[in-house]
Homo-oligomer: A and B are copies of this chain.
Amino acid sequence: MTVARSERLLALLQTLRRYRQPVSGAKLAAETGVSLRTLYRDIASLQAQGAFIEGEAGLGYVLRPGFMLPPMMFSEEEIEALVLGSRWVARTADSRLAAGAVDALAKIAAVLPPDLKEELDNSTLLVGTPRRNDGGADLALIRRAIRAEHVLELAYEDEKAALTHRNVWPFALGFFDSVRVMIAWCELRKDFRHFRTDRIASAVWTEKRYPRRRPVLLKEWREKEGIPAQP
C-alpha cells in the first residue's frame, strides 16, 4: 500500500515546520532521504492538498504557520463535539479566534456527507445569545509577550473603574466564563493576577525579559488555583 508516500509527505511537512527561515530543496531532500527531483514532486503534492508552502528561487521554501491534519476517523459524537465547540467559539471569542472557528467549520462542512450535516443541524443548535467580547487589549501583542517572556506595562481598569499602572509577566491567555483573561504575575501585587482583556486600557511592550520561565509560572499558578492540566 502507498503508506510510505503519505508518511513521507507528513514528515516533510513537519521538517518544514521546524525551520522558520527558508530551507533549500536540497536540504529537505537530504533530510527526507529522497532525490531532489522527487522532493519537488512532493512539494507539489502538498500544495495540491492545500498546504501553504511558498517557494522562491534563490531562497528556498517556507511554510506558512499552520498544521496538516492527517486523515483520521471521527465518531459521530466527536464530529458533533467539534462542530458544536467551533460554533461556540465563533460566537463567543474575539474576532481573530472567531474567524478561525468559522473557517474550520467551513472546511469540515465541505467534506461532511450531507446526511451527517443535516443531522448536526438538528442536534447541535447553539441558541444562546451571542456575547462577543471584542475590543480592549491587543491580543496579538499579549501573545507575543507570552511567547517571548517579556514584561508588559499595563494600564488596567479594575472592578471599581479605578485605573492602575503596573508591570506584569504574562504567561497565559484564557477564558473565564466567556470573558477573555490574561494571566500574569503582577510586579505591583507580587502575586498572580487575572486581567480581563476588555478592561486593559493599554499594554506597552518592553524590552525587558522577565526572570522566570513561562512553564514554571504556569505550573505554580495551576497549583495555586487548583486547576488541573487541560485535557
Contacts and interface: CB of A to CB of B under 8 A. Distances in A.
A141 interface: no
Contacts of A67: 73-74, 76, 79, 112-113, 116
Contact of A172 (B76, B122, B128): B122
A174 B175 CA distance: 22
28 contacts: A2-B6, A3-B48, A64-B75, A66-B73, A68-B71, A69-B73, A74-B104, A74-B107, A78-B101, A78-B103, A79-B104, A81-B89, A81-B100, A82-B104, A84-B85, A85-B86, A85-B88, A85-B89, A85-B101, A102-B231, A105-B231, A121-B229, A122-B173, A123-B172, A123-B173, A124-B173, A127-B176, A127-B227
Interface of A: 1-3, 5-6, 14, 17, 41, 45, 48-52, 64-82, 84-90, 93, 96-108, 111-113, 116, 118-119, 121-129, 143, 146-147, 171-178, 181, 183, 194, 214-215, 218, 225, 227, 229-231
